[in-house]
């Protein structure tokens, strides 16, 4: 299972290299416009009905579909227990430097990961 998670993270890192500037801008806009202080991007090989679709893998030739959402929306929709939201906030990394993904896979389940926008070459998927 660990090898499969590592493979998913490597594929997600490849995707991020192609769309990182747009994700960084969306994240900053979400915060600046007061929607959230906790942007969350969903990444899945399958289409998801959660959040707003940003990148479809077929259109952008990436491995994952990527949607935008927020911690608050996750709590409202019951995807994260409201009691766990505070713990999530305390572990949330600076969105100016990291992108928060909920990586969803039928093989490995769902995992929150923080990947640095830069330098991507220094990202170690085993540490995510």
Burial 28-66 (b: 16+ CB within 10 A, else e): eebbeeeebebbbbbbbeeebebbeebbebeebebbbbb
Task: Tell whether the model's pLDDT for residue 41 goes beyond 70.
Answer: yes
Give residue 121's pLDDT. Answer: 45
Contact by Cβ (8 Å): 41, 99: yes
Sheet holding 109-116, edge to edge: 52-55, 65-70, 39-44, 98-105, 109-116
Q: What are phi and psi of 95, to 5 degrees?
A: -70, -10
Task: Tell whether the model's pLDDT for residue 14 goes beyond 80.
Answer: yes
pLDDT tens digits, residue range 82-94?
A: 888 989 999 999 9
Among residues 42, 128, 38, 41, which one has the least CA distance to residue 86?
38
pLDDT tens digits, residue range 51-102?
A: 999 999 999 999 999 999 999 999 999 888 888 898 999 999 999 999 999 9
Contact by Cβ (8 Å): 63, 11: yes
pTM for the full predicted model: 0.88
Q: Map out the domains of the chain as residue ranges.
A: 2-127
């Amino acid at each position: 299972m660990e090898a499969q998670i590592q493979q998913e993270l490597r594929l997600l890192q490849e995707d991020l290299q192609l769309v990182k500037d747009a994700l960084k801008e969306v994240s900053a806009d979400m915060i600046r416009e007061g929607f959230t202080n906790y942007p969350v991007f969903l990444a899945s090989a399958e289409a998801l009905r959660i959040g707003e679709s940003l990148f479809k893998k077929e259109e952008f030739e990436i491995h994952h579909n990527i949607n935008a959402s927020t911690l608050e929306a996750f709590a409202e929709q019951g995807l994260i227990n409201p009691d766990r939201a505070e713990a999530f906030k305390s572990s949330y990394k600076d969105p100016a430097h990291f992108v928060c993904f909920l990586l969803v896979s039928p093989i490995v389940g769902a995992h929150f990961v923080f990947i640095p926008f830069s330098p991507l070459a220094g990202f170690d998927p085993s540490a995510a």
